[in-house]
A and B are shown apart, each in its own frame.
Chain A
Amino acid sequence: MSLMVDPELCTACEACVAACPFGAIEVKDGLAAPNEKCNLCGACLDVCPVEALSIERQEAGPAAEGHQGVWIFAEQRHGRLAPVAFELLGQGRVLAEKLGARLTAILFGSNVKHLAADLFAAGADTVFLADDPRLAGFTDDLYGGLLTRLAQRHRPEIVLGGATAMGRSFIPKVASALHTGLTADCTGLDIRASDRLLLQTRPAFGGNIMATIVCPARRPQMATVRPRVMRRGPYEPGRSGELVEVSLAGVEFMDRTRLVEFIEDLTEKVNLTEADVIVCGGRGLGEARHFGLLRELADLLGGSVGASRGAVDAGWISYAHQIGQTGKTISPKLYIACGVSGAVQHLVGMQSSEVIVAVNKDPHAPIFDVADFGLVGDLFEIVPELIGRLKAAKG
């Protein structure tokens, strides 16, 4: 597979050089030539005025044959299905329809059989259930090993998981074991009708560009999906499906890793990746205690408190609350940034938010470029005012 330059057509106009986001093509001796940075994204093909460029792409090889079915990993923790499982079923149904395939949910845990009904109601045709005390706690060895084994036996075409801590931890192990491709934290999934290929879209370079990734030759095509971005499907209580109880006979339960205990985060009622509303504090807060104000606002809105890196580095709040490139990526319905300047590394973590409100006294703060509603002013006046209004409404 490579980028081909037709020497008869190339005029060395350098349009391709300008269009390449990776600095991967140069003009040498009057001819365009790709270097080792080229990853076949095709941006240059679109701009070449004389169509001198083409890409020889890998065809779906023999490894792709015989794979069918769309699988989604229905994450559950402590007996509760993660909301992303329903988003995966919603998106999975769309993909399954386009492929004419069955939609299967994979459920691991202990005493979780009752959750299968929820999965059928949300659109699963089949639920593969592995229910065993040894699966009560999440370890990469157990969940990863079991999902790998199931995929090897049943050969799905697509396997999707949530880009949650659990998903991002063990799904790569499965992809590696299956020698297949995995795209992390997708914000868009679609099927290319011509060849049934899964088109996996995600932000790249800190969200400055979007990239669509494919896995042409290997199967299953795997992706983790950013929580709260995909749409849930319709929910029909009582809808039935095929429950397959996975036999664990002969499965070697590795004990190289052992879950000792779980320490719950009691500062947040809702974890950041699932929160509908996030109130985020930055350097503009000035002091640790001012997070109390944001806590009050978050509680009134049923949300959680986040922080920019500046606030975490200043020691005002723990790292678990950090949002951004070196923290968490979140996509709430409503994101209120207070005293956050909006450095690009922070935006990366919250750009998927549906509605962004920014409060900052600096009118030139970059956060205002991505905000839906920008309030230039003193957050110590605006936030208490907002809190007062919300409290009054609750009576």
Chain B
Amino acid sequence: MEILVCIKQVPDARDVKLDPKTNTLRREGVASIVNPFDLYAMEAALRLRDAHGGRVFALTMGPPQAIEALRELVGYGVDEAALLSDRAFAGADTWATSYTLARGAEKLGRFDLIVCGKQAVDGDTAQVGPELAEQLGLPYVAFVRRVVSLDSAAGLLTVERLMDDGCDVVEVRLPALITVVKEIGEPRVPSLKGKMRARKLEIPVLTAEGLGADPDKIGLAGSPTQVLEVFPPKPRGQRVRIEGAPGEQVSRLLEHLKKDITLAAKVGAA
């Protein structure tokens, strides 16, 4: 199987803090990590490769340092990688990002399966996976929590899709794209040989020109959506501390909750 994993390098959310005075994000010393969901995507791809043979490619669109994220994946056992990097790609929304990734995927070859993480923890949209599938004209299943089976001969992949009320079992014809959630399986550990290979591996960097990308469809210029403004959220929480022994605390809490009609109905005469 030829499998493509699309990843994103994101700021380590634990380190990003908001400066309350200036309402800006303090980004000094914020490390970049591979988007957590994408490591799960990588693991899903590696497991399929280990079981059915083939190769796993990693692809990302980002600034030059995103190449480190790709090397990290090679350390885990990913076979090849490529970076799409160009100033013209910057400022892209999900439409422009998926357009760019699609052109990159086409340049790299034909894939039986494309695996993406459910969403990036900085953007939170969960849109790039489905939009990428649409750009490539592929069927897709989102929020996959388990690969049930692969019928290589028939080219059919059966997966479980996590819904709000349970789980849909879906069969999809390859080539296809899936986005995965954490339940798909814990990522393995990198290997020493993998890391050594990663250090030396030639990772091509493709520019807009190299991809033959339409300048009206990439980056900020190619983004149908724009940020109009940013502002601080309304401060949240009344922050009422309820002190005392547990019995007292519960009494006072119930008093507060009953001030709301809906909640009063739920707690009844308590």
* Interface positions of B from 114 to 128, Cβ below 8 Å from A: 121-122, 124-127
Q: Tell whether, in the assembled complex, residue A181 and residue B223 are in contact, meaning their CB atoms are under 8 Å apart.
A: yes
Q: Would you give the 0/1 interface string for B154-179, flagging 1 where the beta carbon is closer than 8 Å to chain A?
A: 00001011111111111111001000
**Complex: A325 Cα to B122 Cα, angstroms:** 9
Residues from chain B with Cβ under 8 Å of A376 in the complex: 241, 243
* A301→B266 contact, CB < 8 A: yes
The answer to the question of A203 belonging to the interface, with a C-beta cut-off of 8 Å to chain B, is yes
Complex-state Cα separation, A370 to B234, whole angstroms: 11
Q: A325, A326, A355: which has the most chain B beta carbons within 10 Å?
A: A326
- Shortest Cβ distance from B48 into chain A, in angstroms? 18
* A19 with B22: CB separation less than 8 A: yes
Which residues of chain A are near B225, meaning CB under 8 Å? 181-183, 213-215
Residues of A within 8 A of B134 (CB): 144, 172-173, 176-177
Q: Is B7 an interface residue (CB 8 A)?
A: no
**Which of B72-80, B135-143, B201-209 makes up part of the contact surface?**
B135-143
**Does A38 reach chain B (CB closer than 8 Å)?**
yes
Q: Once the chains bind, are A212 and B228 in contact (CB under 8 Å)?
A: yes
Q: Is the CB of B167 within 8 A of A265?
A: yes
CB A377 to nearest CB in B, in angstroms, measures 6
B160: chain A residues at CB < 8 Å are 263
A–B complex contacts, Cβ < 8 Å, 14 sampled: A41-B229, A140-B141, A166-B164, A172-B126, A172-B130, A172-B131, A175-B127, A185-B125, A208-B233, A209-B18, A211-B230, A260-B169, A263-B160, A386-B254
Contact of A372 among B14, B23, B239, B247 (CB under 8 A): B239
Q: How far is the CB of A11 from chain B (nearest CB, A)?
A: 19
Tell me if B95 and A214 are in contact (CB < 8 A): no
In contact, B227 and A211 (Cβ under 8 angstroms): yes
Q: Is B60 in contact with chain A by the CB < 8 A criterion?
A: no
Interface pair A258/B171, CB less than 8 Å apart: yes
Lowest 4 CB-CB distances: which A-B pairs, in order?
Answer: A181-B224, A36-B90, A181-B225, A256-B139
Assuming the contacts A264-B165, A272-B164, asked whether A208 and B262 have C-beta atoms less than 8 A apart, the reply is no
Say yes or no for B240: interface residue by CB 8 A criterion: yes
Q: Which of A172, A215, A389 lies at the interface centre, i.e. has the most chain B CB atoms within 10 A of its CB?
A: A172
Q: Which residues of B contact A256 (CB under 8 A)?
A: 139, 172-173, 176
Q: A77-B165, A386-B253 are in contact. Are A319 and B226 (CB under 8 A)?
A: no
Q: How far is the CB of A197 from chain B (nearest CB, A)?
A: 8
Would you call A108 an interface residue if the criterion is a C-beta within 8 Å of the partner chain's C-beta atoms?
Answer: no
Interchain CA distance A9-B224 in the complex, whole Å: 31
Q: A213-B225, A273-B164, A394-B268 are in contact. List 6 more A-B contacts (CB 8 A).
A: A204-B230, A206-B16, A258-B171, A264-B165, A345-B13, A393-B268
**Within the complex, which residue of A140, A172, A217, A345 is in contact with B139, where a contact is CB–CB below 8 Å?**
A140
B269 at the interface (CB under 8 A from A): yes
Rounded to whole angstroms, the CA-CA distance of A144 and B36 in the bound complex is: 28
Which residues in chain A, 37-69, are within 8 Å of chain B measured between CB atoms?
Answer: 37-43, 57-58
B100 contacts the other chain (CB 8 A) = no
A140 / chain B contacts, CB cutoff of 8 Å: 130, 139-142
Q: B57 an interface residue at 8 Å Cβ cutoff?
A: no
| Chain B residues, Cβ within 8 Å of A203 | 233
Are A165 and B143 in contact, with the CB atoms below 8 A? Answer: yes
Chain B, residue nearest A367 (CB): B237
Shortest beta-carbon distance from A125 to chain B in Å: 27
Taking the closest CB of chain B, its distance from the CB of A92, in whole angstroms, is: 20
In the complex, per-residue mask of A152-180: 1 if CB is within 8 Å of any chain B CB, else 0: 00000000000011101110110111011
Q: Contact mask B230-270 → A, CB, 8 Å, 1/0? A: 11110011111111001101110110110010110011111
Nearest CB on A from B57, distance (A): 22
Q: Look across to chain B and name the residue whose beta carbon is closest to the beta carbon of A373.
A: B240
Question: A36 vs B86: C-alpha distance in the bound complex, in angstroms?
Answer: 10
A21 near B25 with CB under 8 A, answer yes
Contact A259 B237 (CB under 8 A): no
Partner among B90, B125, B133, B256 whose Cβ is within 8 Å of the Cβ of A173: B133
The reply to whether A175 and B256 contact each other, CB–CB distance below 8 Å, is: no
A21 and B121 contact, CB distance less than 8 A: no
Residue on B nearest A82 in the bound complex, by CB: B164
Contact A374 B22 (CB under 8 A): no
In the assembled complex, A362 has its CB within 8 A of some CB on chain B: no
B27 lies within 8 A of chain A by Cβ: yes
Residues of A within 8 A of B71 (CB): none
Decide if B232 touches A334 in the complex (CB within 8 Å): no
B227: chain A residues within 8 A (beta carbon): 39-42, 211-213
Assembled-state Cα–Cα distance A326/B33 (Å): 15
| CB-defined contacts of B142 to chain A, threshold 8 Å | 140, 165, 168-169
Chain B residues in 8 Å Cβ range of A377: 246, 249
Shortest C-beta distance, B169 to chain A (Å), equals 4
State which of A18, A274, A373 has its C-beta within 8 Å of the C-beta of B253: A373
Q: Given that A37-B91, A172-B131, A375-B253 are contacting pairs, would A274 and B164 also be in contact in the complex, using a CB cutoff of 8 Å? A: yes
Residue ID in chain B nearest A202 by CB atoms: B124
Does A243 reach chain B (CB closer than 8 Å)?
A: no
User: Which B residues touch A19, using CB under 8 A?
Assistant: 22-24
